[in-house]
Amino acid sequence: MSTPATRWNGFLVLPENRVAVRAVRSVCRTVLAGKRPNANPLVLHGPPGTGKSRLGAALVQQLATSPEGVTAQVVSAGDLTRSPDESLSDRELFECDLLALEDVQHLSGRVANAACDLIDGRTVRRRATVVTASTGPSQLAHLPQRLTSRLSAGLVIQLEPLAVPSRRAILAEVATTKGVRLTPDALDWLAQQATGGGVRATLGLLQNLAQVASAFPGPLTRTDVQKTLAESGQPTSATSGVSRIVERVAAAFNVSEKELLGVSRLRGVMRPRQVAMYLARELTGLSLPRLGAAFGRDHTTVLHSCRKVAEEVKSDAALAKRVSDLRTGLV
């Protein structure tokens, strides 16, 4: 049975995100009225695939299409990391009516301190800021306390992992958009494949189904879906490829697979996790969202990890050899 849902500016409102939507709509009204935000910043956090970025995009779109002429910007923490001085000197980041700063878990060092200055500067200017993160401020232990305390002082809201009925509602909507007709049992089965509280990997499966849906005279049944995905190598071949990489990398770095796929931010766990993402990106050919789903992370986390490892192997001979040996054993 599908979950009754409403939409706000195209964003599907579900039980797991209803509180977050209410807070974002409040920010929207405040910005349009030119008032000081009641709580600043608004921090949205949750695991990958729970809709943080899509909700932020819905807010920006709502403001951009308003007749009041407000300004809004979306900036990824990864972009600040790649070019902190240039990005943070941009006065528009301080002056725009709304700034959405995404994935702050990727900030580090002086970039994090500069981001704190940015948030403080916007607060003084009575400008609204929305921040997204994979976890709440108290769990971002690698960031300076100065920044995490600023985030904690705002309004912190968690987007819960999506339950099966909510995942089904999203899949049903996307299937309709893509012209994929599915029977109820097929939708039920697909919703149950979207483990980890997100739907990104399963949305990739829908893309596969969209290529063949027109060849079927009626809606695709569960059997049709399973047969079609099996014939295209999905989802088992991709999953097994990533699993094999995780197994080899974990053994090479002497950590458990559970630790590698877990939430630990210890360097001894983070580095093999980043290496596994780097090799998976190189060897499987999967998209960033699908890799993110496989590792239980956001696609931007995978991108950041790949770039970090690619840069480190240039100057760290020991790491370069280890990555090369792993690659040779996996090919």
Do 143 and 18 have their domain in common? yes
Domain finish residue from 181, 215, 233: 233
Do 192 and 143 have their domain in common? no
User: Cβ atoms within 10 A of the Cβ of 320, count?
Assistant: 14
Do 218 and 252 have their domain in common? no
Q: Which residues of 258-283 are buried (b: 16+ CB within 10 A; e: fewer)?
A: ebbbeeeeeeebebbbbbbbbbbbbb
The CATH code of the domain that includes 222 is 1.10.8.60
The CATH code of the domain that includes 279 is 1.10.1750.10
Separation between Cα atoms, residue 38 and residue 22, nearest integer Å: 13
Q: What is the pLDDT of residue 132?
A: 94
- 48 touches 4 (CB < 8 A): no
Per-residue pLDDT of the chain (331 residues; tens, 9 = 90+): 444 568 998 899 999 999 999 999 999 999 999 998 888 999 999 887 788 988 998 999 899 888 778 999 888 876 775 544 444 457 788 999 999 999 898 887 778 888 999 999 999 999 999 999 989 999 898 889 999 999 999 999 999 888 889 889 999 998 998 889 999 999 988 888 755 556 766 777 787 788 788 888 889 999 888 888 776 655 434 444 788 899 899 999 988 888 898 877 788 889 999 999 999 888 876 778 778 877 878 888 899 999 999 999 988 989 999 998 898 888 6
Number of domains in the chain: 3
Q: Which residue's structure tokens are 């969202």?
A: 289
Do 25 and 142 have their domain in common? yes
Residue 20, both tokens: 């977050």
Do 13 and 133 have their domain in common? yes
Do 134 and 52 have their domain in common? yes
Q: What is the pLDDT of residue 172?
A: 92
Domain membership of residue 171 (yes or no) is: yes
Domain membership of residue 81 (yes or no) is: yes
The CATH code of the domain that includes 44 is 3.40.50.300
Do 225 and 276 have their domain in common? no
Q: What is the pLDDT of residue 1?
A: 43
Domain membership of residue 1 (yes or no) is: no
| Cα separations in angstroms, 70 against 96, 131, 168 | 8, 19, 36
Residue 294, both tokens: 């496989």
Do 87 and 129 have their domain in common? yes
Q: Helices (H) and strands (E) in the chain — how many of each?
A: 17, 7
Do 136 and 23 have their domain in common? yes
Do 149 and 259 have their domain in common? no
- 128 touches 30 (CB < 8 A): yes
Do 126 and 180 have their domain in common? no
Domain membership of residue 296 (yes or no) is: yes
Domain membership of residue 45 (yes or no) is: yes
Q: Which domain holds residue 184?
A: 164-233
Closest CA to 104 of 130, 123, 86, 83: 130
Domain membership of residue 44 (yes or no) is: yes
Write the secondary structure of 173-237 as one string of H (helix), E (strand) and C (coil).
HHHHHHCCCECHHHHHHHHHHCHHHCCHHHHHHHHHHHCCHHHCCCCECHHHHHHHHHHCCCCHH
Do 279 and 321 have their domain in common? yes
Domain finish residue from 110, 137, 158: 158
Domain finish residue from 191, 206, 233: 233
